[in-house]
Structure 1
Amino acid sequence: MPLPIADILARTHPYDSLDADALRDLVAHVGEARFEADQQIYAHGDRLPALYLIAEGRVEVSDEAGSVLSQLGPGNSFGERGLLRDGTAATSARATNATALLSIPADVFTALVADHPGIARFFDRSRPARAKRQDLTTMSLADVMTRDPLTCTPDTAIRAAAGRMRDNSVSSLMVMRDAKLAGILTTRDLTNRAVAEGLPPETPVAQVMTPDPVTLPPSALVSDVLHRMVERHITHMPVVEAGRLVGILTQTDLTRFQAQSSAAMIGEIADASSIKDLARVVHAIPQLLVQLVGGHNAHQVVTRLITDICDATTRRLLAMAEERLGPPPVPYLWLACGSQGRQEQTGVSDQDNCLILHDDMTPAHDAYFKSLARIVSDGLDACGYFYCPGDMMATADRWRQPLRVWREYFEGWIASPDPEAQMLASVMFDLRPIGGDESLFDGLQDETLRQASENSIFVAHMVSNSLKHQPPLGLFRGFATIRSGENKNSVDLKHNGVVPIVDLGRIYALRGRHRAANTRARLEAAITGGQVSPTGGRDLLDAYDMIADIRLAHQAAQIRRGETPDNFMTPTDLSDFERSHLRDAFVVVKTMQSAAGQGRGILS
C-alpha cells in the first residue's frame, strides 16, 4: 500500500513549515523505499542518493567503527550530515525491523535547504547561527540587573532605613506592601524630603518615598533604562516581572558595567597591594562572565579574557612573594596547566601549576621556592581558584624541580606510558608559562614534542587514554544522563562534552608538534597541518563551539539566578531545537573519537 506522503510531510517538522505550494512541489519528488529487518540502507563512505525520513519501522545509525550512535523511529530524518558536507555518508544506517522510508532526492534536498531558511536552520545542525555580539546598551536587564534588592515596609522608620542602606552600601530600598512594590526610597529622597525638611527620625518611609516608581521587565534592554532615566530624571530602575519585584538597576550599576572589562580588572590587579584587594577584583569574574555571554561573545573570547585575569593575578602574587622573600636565588618559571594552561577557564576553576627551576639550583635553594609556591597557591585559593584536588601544584615537591628533572619526567612518561604516565602527560602537555624566565620552557617543549611524536607506542597509548571520556549519547536520539546523586538526570558538559574534544586536540598537537596549548588553536593547526582531515576537523570545531557555548550559557544562567556555576546541565532546560543540535554535536565528537581509535581520524 503506498505511503501517504503528503500527510506524513505535513505533520513532520521541519517540512510542516512549508507553505501549500512548496509542500505540493516537494511531494511530487519524494519517493518510497522499503527495507527488511537487518538490511543495510547505506554504509559509511557511500554516495548518498537522498535524504531519508522514517515513515514506519526503526533505523540504527552507527559510526565508522560500528559503534551505535542512534536508534531512530518514525518522524526522524537521517543522512543530512553527509549531504550537507560532500555527498558521502558520514555514518552507516540499517533497518532493525521492516522499515518504510520516504526519500527526498539529494538535489531536491539541496534546493530545499537553499530556498527555505527554516529548513536550512533545522538541518545544518553543526553550524547554528550565532547571535551578533552586543554592547551593553543592547543587553537585556536580566543579564545586568542586581537580583533580590533590599526591601523595607512603608512603616519602617527613616532612621532604620538609612542605617540599612549605609550598612549594605546601597543607595536605595524597595518599599514593599503585601509583596507588591509600593515605592522606592533613595538617598536623594532622604536628603530632599527628610533631612532638608527636618522630619523626625521615626517618620515612616511612606512619607518620603517615591510612590509607584517607573519599572521595566527583565526582558527590556539597557537602552530602555537609559532612555527612561534621561526622560524622567531618575537614577534607579526597579525590575518587575508579572507584578513581582525581581531586581534593580541603578545609574551606578551602569557606570560599573561600562568600566568592568577584563582590561580594567587587570589594571586593578596590577595595582593591588594585598591579597584582599586581589580577591575583591577576582570575585567580580562571575558578573564579567554573565556580561560577556549576554553580549554573545564567542566562547573562546570569554574564556581567554577570564584566563587573562587569572594570569595577571598569578603574576601579581609572584611579585608579592618576591617582595616578601627577596630576589630568587636562581631563575625560575611558573607555569599553569589544565584549563588555565589552555586559556579555557570558565566560572569554575581550580589551580593546576608547577615550577621549573634553573639547573644551578641546589638543595639549599628549595626553601625559598617552597615558600614562594605556598604564598602564590594560598593567594590563588583566597581569590577563589581553589586548591587542586589531585595536588598538581607547585607546593608539591614533585612539581617544583630543576629543568633536568623535568626532562627526565617527560622522557620517562614517553618511554614507559603506563596509566599514571598517560594521565600525567595529558596534564603536563598543556603547560603554558605564566611568570618568570620563559627560556626554561622553550627547549623543553620542543624536545618533548619531538620525542612524543616519534614514539608511535606512546601516541597510541595517549589515543587510548583520550577515549576514556565519552559523549553522553543515549539511544533513540536522547542523552545518557547521570542516573543518581545530586546531579541526577543531568549531563556533565565538562567531562563528557568539552574534555573529549580537549583530549583529541592534544593528540593532534602531539602528532603535529604544535606548540599551542589552546584546544581551538590545536584543532585549527591540525587541519592546516594535515593531522586531521579538513572535513572532520571543521565538523569537530563546530561541535566544540556549540558544546562550549552551551556550557557557558548554562553557567551564566546559574549566576544570574544567584547560584554557584557548575558543569551539570539538565537537557530539559534546552528547547527541542537546541537539544537536537547538541546531540548532533556529540555525535560528531563520538565519530571523531572512533576514527582516532581506529587510526583513521589522525593522518600521518
Structure 2
Amino acid sequence: MPMAMETRADAIRTFLESVHPYDSLPRDELTQVVDSFSRREYPAGSEIYAAGEPLKGIFLIKRGAVEVIDRNGELVSILGPRNSFGERGLMRDGLALTSARATEDSVILMLPVAELKRLIANSPAFTRFFNRSRPAESRGNDLSTLKVADLMARNPVTCQPGDSVQDAARLMREKHISSLAVTENGTLVGILTTRDLTARVLAEGLAATTTVAEVMTADPLTLTPDSLGSDILHTMLERRIGHLPIVEGGELRGIITQTDLTRFQAVSTAQLVRDAAVADSAEEMAEVTARIPRLLMQLVAANNAHEVVTRLITDIADTVTRRLLKLAETQFGPAPVPWLWLACGSQGRQEQTGITDQDNCLILDDSVTDDDMEFFRQMAKYVSDGLNTAGYVYCPGDMMATNPRWCQPRRVWRRYFEKWVDSPSPEAQMLASVMFDLRPIGGTPALFRDLQTETLAMASKNSIFVAHMISNSLKHQPPLGLLRGFATIRSGEYKNHIDLKLGGVVPVADLARVYAIKGRLSAVNTRARLEGAEHAGVISISGARDLIEAYDLIARLRLENQAALVRSGRKPDNFLAPSDLSDFERSHLRDAFVVVRTMQSALGHRGGTLG
C-alpha cells in the first residue's frame, strides 16, 4: 500500500512539462490535468498493483524504478522516470494485465481513468501516443479488413483440362494440397478439388482416365487481389465453397482456401507466445518460430506501427529464451547462486523483424565460485543450442553466454564497463555499442539495475569516451547519392539495392545510443531513446521530431519490403530496390536519409544538441 498520498501542484507541473504528451497541452489544460494527478510514494519492494485488480488510472513514474511482471511471474519490463504503465489494462476492460512493483523507493503519479479518456478523446497528441503504445491485437488479427492479396497462396498449382483425374490426384498428393486450378493458355477455366474427385469420380465409378474437364467446376467464382477478407468469408459461407481462385485482368494470381483462413487465425502473437511458453523442446519451439514471417506479413498488412510489430516479434524471442531457461533448470537443477540472462542487439532493443542471430550474456552473483561455473556453462550451452535450433542462429561474433568472457560475476562486468569507458579502444567502442543495449530476459533483474545506472553515469561524465562513441556512431552512413539519388550496391546479388538495415535503421540506433549515454537514459529501444533524449533536452524538440519521423519512415519501409518478400514466397531481408518505390516514396525516403545525415553531422560537430 502507498506510504503517502498528496498533491504538489508546482512540482507535478514542472515534471509534466518535460513528459510527452503532457508537454503538448495548453497551459490552462495542463493546470486541470495537474489537479487531477495524485502523488504516491512506494518503498522499494512494495506492490503497486497485482494482475487482475481493477485499475483506477494510469501510472507515471516521477522518481525511482518499477518492474512490470506478467501473470506467470516473468519480467516484462523495467521502467524508470517518465515511463507510464497500466494503460493496457485501462484500454481493455479496466483490469490490470500485469503486476507492478517498485524496485527502489519511488514517487508515482496517478491520473484517473476518466481524465485519461477525456484527454485521449480531445487531444490528438494523446490519441497518437497511447494508440501507438498499445499492442495491436485488435487490428493485427482482423481477418475481415485485410486484403485478399495478403492472405492468398501465390503461384497456385495448376493442371490442364485434358489431364486425367488420376494424374490430377497424384499431383494433389505430391503437393499436399486439396485443389488444382485448371488453366488453358494461362486463363483460368475451372477448379478441381478433392471433393470433386470423391463425389464425381469415385462415387460415380468413373475411370481413372476420365479427363479433368469432365468433372471440374467450370468457370468458378473468383475474387480479385484487392477484395477484402470479409468478401472471402461471405462468399464461402453463402456459396458453401472452400476454395476461391484469385484472378486479376483475366490471369490467375493465386488461390485461397478455408485452410488458409484457419492458418491465418492461428498465427497471432498471443498464439505464438502461448505455444512457445509450453513447448517441451527446442524442436517444438522451431515449429513456432517458423510462423513468424507470416505473422510479420499480417501485422504489417494491418497497418501496425513499426515499433509495435518489432516489439510483438521480439516478445516471441523473449518467450522462447525464458522457456529454454526454465527447461535448463529442470534438467540441471536449481542454480547455485542468483543469475541474470540478458539479450543485446535487436532483441535487446526489442526491434527484431524476423528470425535473427542471437546475442546474449549472463551476469552472475558475486558469490559464485569456480565450482558453480560448471552449472552456468551447462545452462548457457543448453539455452544457446536451443535458440539455434529454434532459428536464432549462433552469433558470428561469439557474443553469447557460451563464451566465458560473457558469463561472469557482476564485479567482472563492472570492470569490463570501467575499462571500456576509461580506455575506449576500437574494440572497446564496439563492445560498448553492443553492451549498452543489454535488456534483462530472465533471472534476477537486480543484478543489472545498479550496474546500468552506474555505467551510464560513468560513461556520460567521460568526455573522451563519449567522443569515441560519437565517432563510432558515424561509421554507418545513409545511402545518399548525388543529384537526389541513392548510393545503391554496385554488384552482386543485391546490385541496385540499398540496405535499409545498415544504411537506415542502424545509423539511427547508433545516434540514439549516444543520446542515451549523454542523457543517462535507461531505455534501450531506439524510438524510446529518441523520445527520452527529446524530453531530457539532449536534442532539441525540432531535431528529435525530425529524426523520429525519419526513423519511422525508414523502419516502416523496411518492414513493408520484408512483408512483400514473404507474400512472394521469399525469405525476408533488408535490401530494397529504390526502383520498386513510387516517386513519392523515393522522395520521402531520401528526405529521411538527409535528416539522419544531418543529425549525424550535428552530433559530430556540436556534440549532438541541435538548436
Q: TM-score range by the shorter chain?
A: 0.7 to 0.9
Q: Aligned partner of 2:534: which letter?
A: I
User: 2:535 matched to which residue of 1?
Assistant: 528
Note if 1:301 corresponds to 2:308.
yes
Report what 1:471 is aligned to. 478
Following TM superposition, by how much is the alpha carbon of 1:260 offset from its aligned partner in structure 2, in angstroms?
1.8
* 2:267/2:294 contact within 8 Å kept: no
Q: CA deviation at 1:326?
A: 2.3
Residue 97 of structure 1 is matched in structure 2 by: none
Q: Is the 8 A contact 2:289 2:355 kept in 1?
A: no
| Contact 1:508-1:602 at 8 Å conserved across structures | no
CA contact (8 A) 1:216 1:238 kept: yes
- Write the distance in 1 (CA, Å) between the matches of 2:475 and 2:419: 22
SS in 1 for 2:402: coil
Partner of 1:105: none
Which of 383, 386, 391 is the aligned partner of 2:390?
383
Q: Counterpart amino acid of 1:368?
A: F
Aligned to 1:461: 468
Deviation for aligned residue 1:164: 4.6
- Match of 2:359? 352
Q: Which residue of 244, 255, 265 maps to 1:258?
A: 265
Match of 1:191 in 2: 198
Kindly indicate whether residue 227 of structure 2 is the aligned counterpart of residue 215 of structure 1.
no
Superposition map of 1:74-113 within 5 A: none
Is the Cα–Cα contact under 8 Å of residues 533 and 601 in structure 1 kept in the other structure?
no
The residue number in structure 2 matching 1:275 is 282
1:337/1:431 contact within 8 Å kept: yes
Are the aligned partners of 2:343 and 2:438 in contact in 1 as well (CA < 8 Å)? yes
The answer on whether the counterparts of 1:471 and 1:589 sit within 8 Å (CA) in structure 2 is: yes
- Residues 364 and 596 (structure 1), Cα distance of their counterparts in 2 relative to 1, 3 Å cut: same
Hey, what does 1:331 align to over in structure 2? 338
User: Contact 2:366 / 2:411 at 8 angstroms: preserved in 1?
Assistant: yes
* Within-5 A mapping of 1:413-562: 413-562=420-569
Q: 3-state SS of the aligned residue for 2:606?
A: coil
Secondary structure of the corresponding residue to residue 190 of structure 2:
strand
> Residue 305 of structure 1 aligns to which amino acid in structure 2?
L
Give yes or no for the alignment of 1:249 onto 2:256: yes
Q: Who is 2:579 aligned against? A: 572
Preserved CA contact (<8 Å) 1:152 1:176 = yes
Is 1:238 the counterpart of 2:245 in the alignment? yes
User: Relative contact order, CA 8 A, sep 6+: which one is greater?
Assistant: 1
Residue 410 of structure 1 aligns to which amino acid in structure 2? F
CA RMSD of aligned residues (A): 2.1
Aligned-pair distance for 1:181? 2.7
Q: 1:603/1:362 Cα in 2 relative to 1: closer, same or farther (>3 Å)?
A: farther
Q: Aligned-pair distance for 1:232?
A: 2.0
Structure 2 stretches lacking a partner, 5+ long: 1-137
Bigger drift between 461-470 and 235-244 goes to 235-244
The one-character-per-residue Cα deviations of 1:498-553 (angstroms, maximum 9, x if unpaired) are 11110111111111111111000001111111111011001100000011001111
Higher mean C-alpha displacement, 466-475 vs 478-487? 478-487
State the distance in 2 between where 1:285 and 1:340 align.
14
Q: How does 1:365-404 map to 2 (within 5 A)?
A: 365-404=372-411
Matches within 5 A, 1:156-171: 156-158=163-165, 161-162=168-169, 164-166=171-173, 168-171=175-178
What is the CA–CA distance in structure 2 between the aligned matches of 1:491 and 1:469, rounded to whole Å?
Answer: 13
Q: 1:592 aligned to 2:599?
A: yes
Q: Distance in 2 between matches of 1:138 and 1:562?
A: 22
Aligned-residue offset at 1:354: 1.0
C-alpha deviations, 1:188-227, integer Å up to 9, x for none? 2233323433445554444332222112222222222223
Is the contact made by 2:602 and 2:610 (CA closer than 8 Å) also made in structure 1? no
Secondary structure of 1:247's aligned partner: strand
Kindly state the Cα deviation for residue 156 of structure 1 after the two structures are TM-superposed: 4.8
**C-alpha separation in 2, matches of 1:447 and 1:600:** 22
* Distance in 1 (alpha carbons) for counterparts of 2:423 and 2:607: 24
**Structure 1, 361-370 or 351-360: larger mean CA deviation:** 361-370
- Report if the CA contact (8 A) 1:136-1:295 is conserved: no
TM-superposed CA distance for 1:162, in Å, is 4.2
Residues in 2 aligned to 1:382 and 1:205: alpha-carbon distance in whole angstroms: 44
**Contact 1:348 1:566 (C-alpha < 8 Å) held by counterparts:** no
Q: After alignment, is 379-388 or 403-412 more displaced?
A: 379-388
Q: What is the DSSP-based 3-state SS (H/G/I as helix, E as strand, rest coil) of the residue aligned with 1:351?
A: coil
Q: Structure 1 residue 255: deviation in Å?
A: 2.8
Distance of 1:518 and 1:479 partners within structure 2: 28
Per mean C-alpha deviation after superposition, the further-off stretch among 559-568 and 320-329 is 320-329
Q: CA deviation at 1:600?
A: 4.8
Paired AA for residue 307 in structure 1: T
Tell me how far apart the structure 2 counterparts of residues 330 and 190 of structure 1 sit (CA, whole Å).
Answer: 64
* 1:351, distance to aligned residue in structure 2 (A): 1.1
For residues 248-306 of structure 1, the C-alpha deviation after alignment (integer angstroms, 9 at most, x for no partner) is 11122223323321011111111212222211111111111111111111100110111
* CA distance, structure 1, for counterparts of residue 534 and residue 168 of structure 2: 63
Q: How many residues are paired up?
A: 473
Instruction: Measure the CA separation in 2 of the matches of 1:277 and 1:201.
Output: 41
Give the CA deviation at 1:183. 2.2
Taking structure 2 as the reference length, the TM-score comes to 0.74
State how 1:24-39 maps to structure 2 within 5 Å: none
Following the alignment from structure 1 to structure 2, what is the Cα–Cα distance between the partners of residues 332 and 155?
A: 68
Task: Return the index of the structure with the highest Cα Rg.
Answer: 1
The corresponding residue for 2:369 is 362
TM-score w.r.t. the length of structure 1 is 0.75
The CA distance in 2 between the partners of 1:165 and 1:254, in whole Å, is 20
Distance in 2 (CA, whole Å) between partners of 1:324 and 1:174 is: 51
Which residue identity lines up with residue 313 of structure 2 in the other structure? I
Displacement after TM superposition at 1:592 (Å): 0.8
One-letter identity of the residue aligned with 2:606? G
Q: Tell me by how many angstroms 1:395 deviates.
A: 1.5
Structure 1 unmatched runs, 5+: 1-131
CA distance in 1, matches of 2:333, 2:310: 34
How far 1:157 moved relative to its partner?
Answer: 4.8
> What is the CA distance between 1:375 and its match in structure 2?
2.0
Q: Which amino acid aligns with 1:374?
A: K
On the 8 A contact 1:348/1:565 being kept in 2, the answer is: no
Give the AA of the match of 1:271: V
- Which residue is equivalent to 1:53? none
Contact kept? 2:321, 2:383, Cα under 8 Å: yes
**Taking structure 1 as reference, are residues 279 and 576 closer, same or farther at Cα in structure 2, changes over 3 Å only?**
same
One-letter code of the match for 1:372? Answer: M
Give SS of 1:434's match: strand
